[in-house]
Amino acid sequence: MNVEQYISSGILEAYVLGELAEQERLEVEKNLKLYPELRKELALIEETQEKLLMKAAVTPRPSLKNSLFAKVDAAEKSAKVVPLPAADGGIAFWKFAAAASITFALITSYLAYDYRDKWKKTESNLAEFTAQNQQMASDYNTVNQRLDAIENDLRVTTNPAFSRVLLRGTANAPGALASVYWNEKTKEVYLSIQELKTLTRENQYQLWAIIDGKPVDAGVFDNNFKGLLKMKDIGSGAATFAVTIEPRGGKQAPTLETMQVAGNVVKS
């Protein structure tokens, strides 16, 4: 059903005015149960009508009230003389009904409050758990990536095709130490750092391989990784590996004065 269209037909107004035929009236009542929008609209119409009619009120003569309540009293008294329990029971019933409805209202509002409170708590717990879950997932990912890296490192270090070249500190940096894993067949080069000093942002380390007496660039790196770092593939026949400090991005030829570590390939 198109609620908007239904409302704009004016059927709710006609319902409020009590001007619908029985069947239409029942249909409106059924729809009111189904659509909260209709209930909201109905309440607004009723409110408008009430305000309008309050403005158009005609004050009854005060005597009218007296005579009305006299009639009501008389009806009650006659009900007492003739022992019909219904009339007196009516008042008692209303007292009871009022008390019951107040009690009911109190209980329901307490329950509503209580449920709202519980709902709020549940909501905040859910948010907390969702956040924890996300944190856990991201931790798990980090660990997983780290594990992948370590597995790869292990594959390199345990593979007999890779020869390990120990690069010891030069006179520039006596305590420095690094290792190169080099597979002459696949030409892969991996680097691991044991001890290198931290550089300023302008500078980077550069790895060189000496092949046939000439330095070959094997790539630049920062001193901020764990495990093995894959460097550029170099040709075969490397005799020595060395690391120099160069301006960020590296250079074509090594600055020998800044050489940190170096080591010769030991042919097995």
Partner 1 sequence: MEYLYDHYAGALLGVVARILKKEELAEEVLQDVFLKVWDRIDSYDASKGKLFTWMLNIARNQAIDKTRSKEFSKGKKTGDLDNYVNRIENEGYVEQKVEGIGLQNLLNTLPEDQRFIIDQHYLKGYTQAEIAEEFNLPLGTVKTRMRLAMKELRNLLK
Q: Is 24 in the site for partner 1 (CB under 8 A)?
A: no
Cα–Cα dist 12/6, whole Å: 8
Residue closer to partner 1 (CB basis): 22 or 257: 22
Give the shortest CB-85-to-partner 1 separation in angstroms: 16
Strand-strand pairing, 177-183 and 229-231: unpaired
Taken in order 195, 200, 201, 204, is the CA torsion positive or negative? negative
Q: Which of 1, 2, 18, 22 binds partner 1 (CB under 8 A)?
A: 18
Cα distances from 97 to residues 93, 106, 243, in angstroms, run 6, 14, 94
Give the shortest CB-53-to-partner 1 separation in angstroms: 4
Per the CB < 8 A criterion, the answer to whether 16 and 32 are in contact is no
Give the shortest CB-51-to-partner 1 separation in angstroms: 4
Q: Is 10 in the site for partner 1 (CB under 8 A)?
A: yes
Please give the structure tokens belonging to residue 264: 């010769």
Residue closer to partner 1 (CB basis): 52 or 171: 52
Per the CB < 8 A criterion, the answer to whether 206 and 217 are in contact is yes
Give the shortest CB-119-to-partner 1 separation in angstroms: 25
Q: Is 95 in the site for partner 1 (CB under 8 A)?
A: no
Q: Which residues contact 266 (CB under 8 A, 6 or more apart)?
A: 163, 165
Residue closer to partner 1 (CB basis): 80 or 155: 80
Residue closer to partner 1 (CB basis): 97 or 150: 97
Q: Which of 1, 2, 23, 52 binds partner 1 (CB under 8 A)?
A: 52
| DSSP structure class, residue 59 | P
Q: Which residues contact 149 (CB under 8 A, 6 or more apart)?
A: 226, 227, 228
* Angle, CA of 132, 137 and 139, to the nearest 5°: 95
Site string for partner 1, 74-93 (x = CB under 8 A): -x-----------------x
Give the shortest CB-126-to-partner 1 separation in angstroms: 33
Q: Which of 34, 68, 127, 239 binds partner 1 (CB under 8 A)?
A: 68
Give the shortest CB-88-to-partner 1 separation in angstroms: 14
The closest alpha carbon to 240, from 211, 220, 206, 219, belongs to 211
Binding site for partner 1 (CB under 8 A): 7-14, 16-19, 29, 32-33, 42-61, 64-65, 67-69, 71-72, 75, 93, 97
